[in-house]
Structure 1
Amino acid sequence: MRLLPGILAMATTVVASNILVQFLFGQWLTWGAFTYPIAFLVTDLTNRLYGPAAARKVVFAGFATGIVCSVIGTQIIGDFGPLVTWRIALGSGLAFLLAQLVDVEVFDRLRSGAWWRAPLASTLIGSALDTAVFFTLAFSASLSFLEPGNDVGWANEALPLLGAGPVVPLWVSLAVADWGVKLALAVIALVPFRLILGRLRAGLA
């Protein structure tokens, strides 16, 4: 029962992000980019309070929730086909699981240092891994064999990076923008991490 709040928070974050990713925010982002990083905050709080084994349980609960969301998404047909392709489902699930489990390990190795070091380092590393795995698996033309019937040509259109840099496939700009948000939120999340941790510890005392 002690992990129930964390499990519910993780499940809510995953469901909300799967819904909000359908809505654009500007040219390079979706609203889901702003909610998904909360998953790292939930994992890190659980890790700090109850240890890595408990944090992994919360991660697996989020992973299971994500699988359900992805399967549902593949069955919903939008204007351009399923809302979630199997490549996106694979990329999303694998990226979440790998990134969160790496986050748990990095946090645990740094937990005895300054209070901010473990959550910041683990989130930065986990976020980078999450972005790289998801966007590569979901959109890279070199992996089109994963789902031959899924046309990812739109994501591989050659455009200037974020509209101003060197010419790269569109999905690279999307990945860089997504990673930038995660980096910023990793720093901002230190504030609620400290505040929530203090309140929870006071409640457990």
Structure 2
Amino acid sequence: MEEILAVEQRRPVRETPLEKLVRESGAFSAALFRLAWLTALLTPVLLASFLTLDLAVFRFDQIFDSAAQKPSNWLSVGGIVMTCAGLLVILFSRRYGGDEASRAITASWGVAAIVVFAGLAELAPVLQDSDFPAARSVVAFVASAMLGQYVAVHFYDVLRGGGAWWRAPLIAALAGLGLQASIFYPWAFWGSDSPWFFWMLADFSVKAAGAAAFLPIYRALQQTLKPRGGFGGR
């Protein structure tokens, strides 16, 4: 006689409309709070970059004899701060994934733009035309920085979870910062007599050094910023 094995079948637990509403509302609230938190971290960095963009760094000028090649022509405090912003979003991507990091980038730039325009409107009566940078340079700076940050989180999201621990953050940082430099300098200086190609290479060299210096920080934060479930990484 064949033994008939009874297979227990579990019926899916039915969720009432109210329970579904509560669950989805909770998930939405958590996502909104997370976006607000990441935006609150990134926006001050962007604003600090805007406010210090015209503060040139003169410390290394004595290394170069040619006036056109001196780092103060292209190296500014604001540029360094924006480099830090590009590295910060990689940490966002590690913890929450590329999509969440991209949303934080979009929201942060939006909030920063509102703050900047509000400040300009408030100060407009006392500002002179000479107080404003060239529109071409501003657009080039903003566009290159935004695109560089999007590319950095995308590269990190693709490369995470495989190979040596430093591969994903280093390649992501170099890709994002490299794109930023390669967009900004041709856009801002094309057609001028400035040695912008030399400035672009020098700027990327400094940013590459910054990306390398970022690796020990990334390593130290690996355990603290463990990826959330489903995002992979180590």
- TM value normalised by structure 1: 0.74
Q: Whose radius of gyration is greater, 1 or 2?
A: 2
Amino acid in structure 1 at the alignment position of 2:168: A
Tell which deviates more after alignment, 26-35 or 117-126.
26-35
Give the corresponding residue for 2:87.
41
The counterpart of 2:152, out of the listed 82, 88, 103, is: 103
- 2:223 is aligned with 1:198: yes
* 1:55 CA displacement: 0.7
Amino acid in structure 2 at the alignment position of 1:190: L
Within a 5 Å distance, the mapping from 1:1-205 to structure 2 comes to 1-26=33-58, 27-28=70-71, 29-68=75-114, 71=117, 77=127, 81-113=130-162, 114-141=164-191, 156-157=192-193, 169-201=194-226
Amino acid in structure 2 at the alignment position of 1:20: T
Q: Secondary structure at 2:34's aligned position in 1?
A: coil
> Aligned partners of 2:115 and 2:145: how far apart in 1?
13
* 1:70 CA displacement: 6.2
* 1:130 CA displacement: 0.4
1:40–1:123 contact (8 Å) kept in structure 2: yes
Q: Deviations over 1:25-80 (max 9, x none)?
A: 023211123211111222111111111110101111232245346655696856x7
Q: 1:176 to 1:69 in 2, by over 3 A?
A: farther
Residue identity over aligned pairs, in percent, reads 26
Select the structure that is richer in strand: 1
Q: 1:44 to 1:37 in 2, by over 3 A?
A: same
1:47–1:108 contact (8 Å) kept in structure 2: yes
* 1:188 CA displacement: 0.5
Amino acid in structure 2 at the alignment position of 1:10: L
How many residues are matched? 176
Q: Secondary structure at 1:189's aligned position in 2?
A: helix
> Aligned partners of 2:171 and 2:146: how far apart in 1?
18
> Aligned partners of 2:172 and 2:148: how far apart in 1?
9
Unaligned stretches of 5+ residues in structure 2: 1-32, 59-69, 228-234
* 1:83 CA displacement: 2.5
Q: Deviations over 1:74-95 (max 9, x none)?
A: 96856x7242322122212221
1:17–1:36 contact (8 Å) kept in structure 2: yes
- TM value normalised by structure 2: 0.66
